[in-house]
Amino acid sequence: MDIRYLKGVGPKRADILRRLEIRTTYDMLYYLPRRYEDRSRFILIKDVKPGAYVTLRARVLFVSSGFTRRNMRVLRLAIGDKTGVIYCAWFNQPFLGKLFKKDQDIVVYGKAERYDRLQINHPEYEIIQEEKKDSLNIGRIVPIYPLTQDVTQKYLRYLACEAVATCVHTLVDILPINVRARRALTDICFAIRNIHFPASYENLERARKRIIFEEFFILQAALAMKRKNIKEDSSGITHSSDEKLLEGFKELLPFELTSSQVQAVREIQSDMADTKPMNRLLEGDVGSGKTVVAAYALLISVKNGYQASIMAPTEILARQHYITLSELLMPLGVNVRLLVSGLGPDKKEEIRKEILCGEAEIVVGTHALLWEGIEFKSLGMAVIDEQHKFGVAQRRLLKQKGKNPDCLVMTATPIPRTLALTVYGDLDISVIRGLPGGRLPITTYCMEEDKRESVYKFIREEIEKGRQVYIVYPRIRQKSEAGPKSATAMYNRLQEEVFPDLKLGLIHGKMSSGEKDKIMKKFKGKKIHILVSTIVIEVGIDVPNASLMVIENAENFGLSQLHQLRGRIGRGDYPSSCILMGRPRTDAARKRFFTMSETQDGFRIAEEDLELRGPGEFLGTRQHGLPELRFGNILRDFDIMEEARKDAFELIKRDPDLKEERNKRIKEALKTRFKGKLELVNVG
């Protein structure tokens, strides 16, 4: 029903409500409060502790407006109850002056601060005029809605109440009755009524759970259907492989595969042998040895007469894979080729032709692989390394270079289970746990500016021992005097003033690939002692002799970034150290430093990072693909997600196409709620 049919909504109000995406009474019913205030009883002013968020009910004692010492307009309110006085202050909001009058009854919400007196800055406020028994605004648990200009809490409360009264009984319950019974979920009418006007916190909790469960249930049903469709798709390539091939491959390696590498290899082997296309995510910490596993997958495909390809996000990494794979597979007579934009036009053309006629059996490359002119004769296997650096569309493009090729995506940023169950619900996952044996742990220190001299001394000592060092900066160039240091400026200064007797190198993202390549070769060949760099070295640098990394202005890096950077060291037979220089100023930054110094476990770090940044940021906008959740939060409500997932998958198993009459409503909901968006969810 159009929202305008509710009493008190004219055309003008309807326009304003549209800004909140409230068009119908249904929208209003599902326009949920962002928090609640228990206005059935209030804290007394004498009991207010500085630092705490409080809801107070008090009387306005006086209103004064003036200026602060810094010449900002300030409006002050003294409010009091029987037990004391507290001040409220608003800065630069002169219009508020007209609003408050002495002797008004007022409810305020905010954080109490202790100055020379107790004060709440910029509190949320509501002037209370009524004291009716069934007031929506006082004497109960009161909903606080997200607002826009020209709409007040009171008005929304009134509308919510009207909508509930006139329309809640028309809602149809889409959750199957057996699911509701099993999870002790309330019916939808109860849930909607209580999410707006809860009779108790207990009711509120039940309402909340019910609404979130429903949202997750629909999402998971969609994932279940999607996964089923992929599973049933039998139009892929059957890659056969046998023990002999695996044994032969192992013999080429200078080391033994770890047990989890073997496990991953087996899982991949069996996926590839199947008629349906493989869709597998290989997770493993930095340095855990994903590349060899991928190499074997590529080899299987080539041995079956197909071409195989591996795409990496940077040219440095692509070149490195090219070298590794050529050296490894050359003895088997496999033709490995490199395609990156840094190649000359003639070379590119030559490789393009080799890819087209099938002569290039394994093609290692960057985004260049996605160019329009690049066509494979028969692509059987597509590997995407550091998949989180690519967008969904790019991953899909690579796969489309073949006819339903098998696909393996790899990441060193493990996907916490929470996300794996939502975003990657249609992927199979292999995990490489731990690092190959013999690696020494990395010790991580956090240091501030006053320790700089001893850090420089430490650098010297490492170099005297024959080791090499990375120093990483957040920027290429300095933006301002006060801002974070830059690689370019510091490279010059360090070379001239601090380490004039040593050889320093500089590498950053704005350099041409030829230049980068040259520097990396020199560093690898030990012709450079200290490599000054930006985040470009985050992926794919493998120099086992480097044993120390200093990260400057480390508070400017994200947790996963820090972890990836640190993964560049600890690759040799020497004890390694990582030094985080800087001063964390926020809680989040402090947490990042702490986590880094405490653990090297990539899974724990990923969980922590997800917690700190939230799912959207964690995944990055590029590969977003997160369905938009309105009510649930996949971190906070993970338990509910797991239950909903179980039930939804079971339902889809029993009624795969939602043909049964009683599941019709779920089918409807799938169509309306996740339409379009879910396309993005998977890698497929």
Binding-site ranges for ligand ADP (CB under 6 A): 255-258, 261, 284, 286-292, 412, 436, 542
In the bound complex, what is the minimum distance in angstroms from residue 313's beta carbon to ligand ADP?
12
Find all residues with CB under 8 Å of 565, minimum gap 6, and list them. 472, 535, 537, 538, 549, 551, 557
**Which single residue brings its beta carbon nearest to ligand ADP?**
289
Smaller CB separation from ligand ADP, 416 or 540: 540
In the bound complex, what is the minimum distance in angstroms from residue 354's beta carbon to ligand ADP?
26
In the bound complex, what is the minimum distance in angstroms from residue 350's beta carbon to ligand ADP?
28
Smaller CB separation from ligand ADP, 304 or 411: 411
In the bound complex, what is the minimum distance in angstroms from residue 253's beta carbon to ligand ADP?
8
- What is the rounded CA–CA span in Å between residue 288 and residue 433? 7
- Cα-Cα-Cα-Cα torsion 414, 415, 416, 421, nearest 10 degrees, comes to -150
Smaller CB separation from ligand ADP, 290 or 303: 290
* Sheet bearing 307-311, strands edge to edge: 336-339, 362-365, 307-311, 379-384, 406-411, 279-284, 428-432
What values do phi and psi take at 174, rounded to 5?
A: -95, -15
Smaller CB separation from ligand ADP, 137 or 547: 547
Tokens (6 digits) for 580? 């985080």
Let me know: does 293 contact 268? Beta carbons within 8 Å. yes
Smaller CB separation from ligand ADP, 269 or 291: 291
In the bound complex, what is the minimum distance in angstroms from residue 288's beta carbon to ligand ADP?
4
Smaller CB separation from ligand ADP, 401 or 568: 568
Smaller CB separation from ligand ADP, 37 or 538: 538
In the bound complex, what is the minimum distance in angstroms from residue 316's beta carbon to ligand ADP?
13
In the bound complex, what is the minimum distance in angstroms from residue 542's beta carbon to ligand ADP?
5
- What is the rounded CA–CA span in Å between residue 310 and residue 304? 17
Smaller CB separation from ligand ADP, 6 or 312: 312
Smaller CB separation from ligand ADP, 163 or 559: 559
Going by C-alpha positions, the residue among 512, 539, 545 that lies closest to residue 318 is: 539
Smaller CB separation from ligand ADP, 143 or 602: 602
Task: Reduce the DSSP state of residue 203 to 3 states and report it.
Answer: helix
- What is the rounded CA–CA span in Å between residue 348 and residue 344? 6
Let me know: does 519 contact 506? Beta carbons within 8 Å. yes
In the bound complex, what is the minimum distance in angstroms from residue 254's beta carbon to ligand ADP?
7
Tokens (6 digits) for 495? 């070379």
In the bound complex, what is the minimum distance in angstroms from residue 407's beta carbon to ligand ADP?
17
Smaller CB separation from ligand ADP, 119 or 261: 261
Let me know: does 122 contact 89? Beta carbons within 8 Å. yes
Q: Strand pairing partners for 114?
A: 118
In the bound complex, what is the minimum distance in angstroms from residue 435's beta carbon to ligand ADP?
8
Q: Which amino acid is at 349?
A: E
Let me know: does 142 contact 130? Beta carbons within 8 Å. no
Q: Could you give the angle at the alpha carbon of 392 between the alpha carbons of 387 and 397, nearest 5°?
A: 95
Q: What is the 3-state secondary structure (H, E, C) of 526-557?
A: CCCCEEEECHHHHCCCCCCCEEEEEECCHHHC
In the bound complex, what is the minimum distance in angstroms from residue 191's beta carbon to ligand ADP?
46
- What is the rounded CA–CA span in Å between residue 385 and residue 10? 56
Residues listed for the chain: 684
In the bound complex, what is the minimum distance in angstroms from residue 243's beta carbon to ligand ADP?
19
- What is the rounded CA–CA span in Å between residue 505 and residue 679? 45
Burial class (CB in 10 A: 0-12, 13-18, 19+), 95: exposed
Smaller CB separation from ligand ADP, 262 or 588: 262
